[in-house]
Amino acid sequence: MERTFIMIKPDGVQRGLIGEVIARFERKGFTLVGMKLMAVSRELAEKHYDVHKDKPFFGGLVEFITSSPVVAMVWEGENVVASGRTLIGATNPISSAPGTIRGDFGITIGRNLIHGSDAVETAQREIALWFTEPELASWTPANHGWLYED
């Protein structure tokens, strides 16, 4: 089973959208295997967004992510990395389709509510960066057979 790293950013937490985001992943059928509300250190934020370190928005992005708590989560399921990105919507909320999280709740790219890993390898790197092994629970939901054929 595939896993992805999902983070509700400070704007999503401040705007009271934690439950809304979790509900969307839950009702899709994905399984929550790790979750914590936490303040993010500058070091962790810089490591997480390392790929963007030379971009003009990097400084502001690190400031934003460290400004207020986030909810870090790991979700599991078939194709959860790509499907998670579909649930989230395009990077710029103004071009995200209605029905997606960013499309329904966001307006600007610098306040787009949520992060989701963009590839399976990225997900593995991000999960290892944000969670220790004991913080992740491997479990099979009772409705598994009603979501998957085998």
Q: Are strands 2-8 and 31-38 parallel, antiparallel or unpaired?
A: unpaired
Site membership for ligand GDP, residue 24 (CB under 6 A) = no
User: Least Å distance between CB 22 and Mg ion?
Assistant: 21
Q: Which residues contact 61 (CB under 8 A, 6 or more apart)?
A: 45, 49, 52, 110
User: Within its chain, how far is the Cα of 42 from the centroid?
Assistant: 18
Q: Is 30 annotated as a binding residue?
A: no
Residues 31-90 binding ligand GDP (CB under 6 A) are 52, 57, 60-61
15 marked as binding residue:
no
Q: Is 79 annotated as a binding residue?
A: no
115 is catalytic: yes
Stretch that binds ligand GDP, among 15-23, 30-38, 106-114, 125-133 (CB under 6 A): 106-114
Burial zone of 62 (CB within 10 Å; 0-12 exposed, 13-18 middle, 19+ buried): buried
Binding site residues, ligand GDP, CB under 6 A: 52, 57, 60-61, 91, 109-110, 112, 115, 118
